[in-house]
Amino acid sequence: MDASYLFARNFVSTEYEALPPEVVEATRKEILDLLGVALGGASRAGATQVCELVKQWGGKQESSIIGSSCRVPAPNAAQANATMAHALDFDDVHEAAVMHPGIASIPVAIAVGEAEGNLSGRELIVSTALGVDMMCRLALATTPGRSPIELGWHLTSLFGFMGAAAVAARMMRLDEEMTVNAIGIGYHQCAGNGQCVKDGALTKRLGPGFALKGGITAAYLARLGVSGAKNSIEGEWGLYRQYMDGDYSRDILTRDLGRRFEGVNVAIKPYPCCRGIHPAIDAALELAIEEGLRSNDLGEIILSVTDAHLSLLCLPEDAKRTPRSPVDAQFSIPWGVASAFVERRVGLDDFTEDAIRNPEVLDLTRRMRVEVDNSLHRPGPEPTRVKVITREGKAFSRVVENPLGSLERPMSFDDCARKFADCAKSLGKEKVERIIHLVEQLEQLEDIREIIRLLTTE
C-alpha cells in the first residue's frame, strides 16, 4: 500500500485526544510564531507584490489576508499569507529535515477553515500537527545519510503541494479516498528548486505560497470528483522515484505514524535568516560579548564550514560578501557573522535593503576567509567555526554545536511570545497581548475567527 493511503487515513481518523501534551505545546508555539512572522513579512518585497496581485484578482470573499481588510478565495489567501510568512526566512524549521513544515500547514488550516465555517482551536492544533508531521516525514525519508541540500530542491515548496493538499482535505472533512486523490493531485504540481537562493531571487519567498495555492486547489478538485495518482509517493513514477531516483527510507517515512509526531522536533528561529547561519551567528555573538570584541578590533576572520554550507551559504563569493538583495544576506554566513560583530545582536533590521549597504558590515565581510572542514558535518544545522585574529595579534575561536532554538536550547512559549510581539508591533500592544493569550489557551477556543479578526484591519 502506497504511503499516501497511510497519510490519508491518519488525516481522516486522528482526533485531538490522540495528541500527546508535548505535541500540543509545540504546535501552539508554531502557530503563534507563524502568525508573527507573517505580520513581520507583510511589507517585504515579494510579499507585497503577491498580496497586491491576489487583491487585483478579487473573487469570492471567504478567507482573510493577514494584516489587511481584504478577503479573497481560500487558495489565494493562503498563498498571500504563506508568502508573507516566508519573506523574512524567520519561520520554523526542522533541522534534520532541512525544511519549514509549519508554513505548509498553518496558513492552509486557517484559510480553508475560515472558508468552510467554524474552526475550533483544537481542530487548528490537530490539522497543524498532522501537516507538520507529514512534511517532516517526507523530508526526513529523502536520501537518508546525505544532505538534502546537495539535491538542489527546496523541500518546503516541493513537498508543500502534497502536505497542503492533505491539510486542506482534513479541513474539508474529505474521506480517505478523496484525501488520497487530493494528495495525488498535489503531487502532479510538485516543484521547488534552490536556484533562487543562488541568484538571490525573490522567488525564494514565493515558493511555499505556490505550494499552498496548488494544494488547496487539489483538495477542492478532489471533492468535486477529480482523481489523482493513487501511488503518488512510492509508485513507479511517484515522488521518490521520479524526484529522488528511488533513494528514500520507507521506515523513516511511516514508522509510528499517528503515534509519534515530528512537530516536537521543530525549531523556532531566533534570527530572521537561513537556519544554517544560526550556529555561526551564535559563535560570533559569544566572541563579541564574552570576549568584548568589537568590529574595529578585528584584523581577520576565518570561517570553517562544510562543503554543503560552502555551496549554499558562502557561494557565489561576491554575492555572499556584498549582497545583491536581502535574500543574499539571508543566505550568507559571512553576512550573519559580520552583522553579529557590528550590531552585537541580529534581528529584523539586519536583512533589509538599507542594511545590506551598511559599510561597517561590508568592510568585515570583505576581510573574511572561508575554509572547508568537513569534520564539522552534523545532522541538522552544521556548526561553523568562527576564528578571529585581532589587530593586536590575539586569536579567539568558537564553535557552537547547539544554536539557540535547537532541541537542546529550545525557545519557550514566552520566547515565542516576545518574538511575536516584535514582529507584530503594527497591531498595537492590546491586540498583541490578546492574540498571545488566545493562542496560549488555543484548545479552549471555539472559533479561531476571534484570532483572525485581531490579525486583520477594519
Tell me, yes or no, whether 151 and 213 share the same domain.
yes
Q: Is the pTM of this model over 0.95?
A: no
Please tell me the distance from the alpha carbon of residue 115 to that of residue 18, in angstroms, as a whole number: 26
The predicted pLDDT at position 444 comes to 96
The yes-or-no verdict on residue 152 having pLDDT over 70 is yes
- Report CA torsion sign: 421, 426, 429, 433: negative
The yes-or-no verdict on residue 150 having pLDDT over 90 is no
Contacts of residue 144, Cβ cutoff 8 Å, sequence gap at least 6: 247, 248, 249, 252
The yes-or-no verdict on residue 23 having pLDDT over 70 is yes
Q: What is the mean pLDDT of residues 198-214?
A: 95
Tell me, yes or no, whether 282 and 266 share the same domain.
no
Domain boundary among 372, 399, 426: 399
CA distances to 101, 203, 290, 296, 387 from 284, rounded to whole Å, are 28, 29, 10, 14, 9
Most confident of 47-56, 345-354, 407-416: 47-56
Provide the H-helix boundaries in 16-96.
21-41, 47-57, 74-86
- As given in the structure block, the three cell numbers for residue 193 are 528548486
- As given in the structure block, the three cell numbers for residue 389 are 585574529
Tell me, yes or no, whether 26 and 127 share the same domain.
yes
Tell me, yes or no, whether 195 and 74 share the same domain.
yes
- Report CA torsion sign: 155, 161, 167, 170: negative
Q: What percent of the chain has pLDDT over 90?
A: 93
CATH classification of the domain holding 285 = 3.30.1330.120
Burial 18-57 (b: 16+ CB within 10 A, else e): ebeeebbbbbbbbbbbbbbbbbbbbebebbbebbeebeee
To 10 degrees, what angle do helices 21-41 and 121-140 make?
Answer: 90
The yes-or-no verdict on residue 216 having pLDDT over 70 is yes
Please tell me the distance from the alpha carbon of residue 279 to that of residue 424, in angstroms, as a whole number: 26
- As given in the structure block, the three cell numbers for residue 344 are 552585537
Whether 158 is covered by a domain: the verdict is: yes
3-state class of 387 per DSSP? strand
148 confidence band (pLDDT: 50, 70, 90): confident
Give how many domains the chain has, as a whole number. Answer: 2
Tell me, yes or no, whether 262 and 342 share the same domain.
no
Contacts of residue 426, Cβ cutoff 8 Å, sequence gap at least 6: 39, 67
Q: What is the mean pLDDT of residues 437-446?
A: 97
147 confidence band (pLDDT: 50, 70, 90): confident
The yes-or-no verdict on residue 10 having pLDDT over 80 is yes
The yes-or-no verdict on residue 77 having pLDDT over 70 is yes
Tell me, yes or no, whether 232 and 285 share the same domain.
no
The predicted pLDDT at position 379 comes to 77
378 confidence band (pLDDT: 50, 70, 90): confident
Please tell me the distance from the alpha carbon of residue 73 to that of residue 239, in angstroms, as a whole number: 29
Structural domain of 351:
275-399
360 confidence band (pLDDT: 50, 70, 90): very high
Backbone angles phi, psi at 304, to 5 degrees: -105, 120
Tell me, yes or no, whether 246 and 390 share the same domain.
no
The predicted pLDDT at position 117 comes to 87
Using an 8 Å Cβ cutoff, are 397 and 291 in contact? no
The predicted pLDDT at position 146 comes to 83
The predicted pLDDT at position 195 comes to 94
Using an 8 Å Cβ cutoff, are 346 and 271 in contact? yes
Which H or E element spans position 63?
Answer: strand 63-64
pLDDT, mean over the chain: 95
- As given in the structure block, the three cell numbers for residue 172 are 474539508
User: What digits encode the pLDDT tens for the residues 246-305?
Assistant: 999 999 999 999 999 999 999 999 999 999 999 999 999 999 999 999 989 999 999 999
Tell me, yes or no, whether 152 and 187 share the same domain.
yes
The predicted pLDDT at position 458 comes to 66
Tell me, yes or no, whether 138 and 64 share the same domain.
yes
CATH classification of the domain holding 20 = 1.10.4100.10
Using an 8 Å Cβ cutoff, are 33 and 419 in contact? yes
Whether 405 is covered by a domain: the verdict is: no
Tell me, yes or no, whether 114 and 193 share the same domain.
yes
Please tell me the distance from the alpha carbon of residue 87 to that of residue 91, in angstroms, as a whole number: 9
Q: What is the mean pLDDT of residues 371-380?
A: 89
149 confidence band (pLDDT: 50, 70, 90): confident
Tell me, yes or no, whether 155 and 226 share the same domain.
yes
Tell me, yes or no, whether 333 and 243 share the same domain.
no
The predicted pLDDT at position 39 comes to 97
Type of residue numbered 41? G
